[in-house]
Amino acid sequence: MGSNTTAGQPDTQTGKRPLWLRLLIWAGAAFLLFNTVGVALSLGALPGVSAGSFIRLALVGAAVAAPLWKWHGMNVLRTWRNPAVASFTRHEDPATGGFLFDVQPARAARMPALPLFAVAVVLLLNALLVGARSTGGFLGLYIVALVFIGVGCSYVLPGARDRKPVKVSVTGRGVQGGDISVPLAAVTGLRVTHGGLVVDPGPLMPGRNGVPISSMAGRHMGRRQAARGYAVTVRADGESQSRLLAGGLTEDCAHALAAEIGRAIDAERVKLTA
């Protein structure tokens, strides 16, 4: 009989977003819309692609592709529509006679990273437009766009490598999840780990005697990302390092998942001894 467990939403993620964050989101969206339309109309007047244009296009493509594939940004996109809390379902697997856990991570905290990426896209488009007439202008806009991309990535990419859906199978043969497999007899324990950002929980006070808005945004993002950076790992007998079973989880979901997998392991061991 299947069961479903969903972590409760942390207190730091409840309620409406702060006013400054909502204003920043709307400003970023308006800025993107205004500039993208203008650049799109201007690009239609550009001459054919030359060797220099090809190099500039390659640089722009690298700026976008590197975070997506090199630093696992695709996992952030794949879980974009996931809820802000992680969840899993447990089913009995008729094919193996064991248990199957379908784990869905929480989506990455993504505000105010979106306005930063929006500005970066506009800058890259303008860099291609200006670059047709000035190499120096292209390099200036390109470098500034890289700064915006880097800051945005520092918000959304921590924990991105482990933020992906996974199916964990517990059978008489062992525990399998993703690309790992541990024999049942070799499983020595399950652990809940926290690989996200660790952020000072102290209050932030804006103003002359406090911190700038950029620091508040970074701290706010760090806290939200850290709350979704828990993982469940398994350790095999004779090994010092644990292996990741599921990541990108909220705390309640991670503890519940570890407990359910532990009970499934005990049930399979009882079957073997019987």
Q: CA 92: distance to chain centroid?
A: 29
Residue 15: per-residue pLDDT: 41
Residue 52: per-residue pLDDT: 75
Residue 133: per-residue pLDDT: 81
Assigned token pair, 169: 């199978």
Residue 164: per-residue pLDDT: 93
pLDDT tens for the chain, 274 residues: list them: 434 444 433 333 434 556 666 676 667 666 665 655 555 445 444 445 566 777 888 898 899 899 988 889 999 999 999 999 999 999 998 888 899 999 999 999 887 788 899 999 999 999 988 877 888 899 999 999 999 999 889 888 888 999 999 999 999 999 999 889 999 999 998 999 987 444 445 555 555 555 555 555 566 666 778 889 999 999 999 888 889 999 999 999 999 999 999 999 999 999 888 7
Amino acid at 115: P
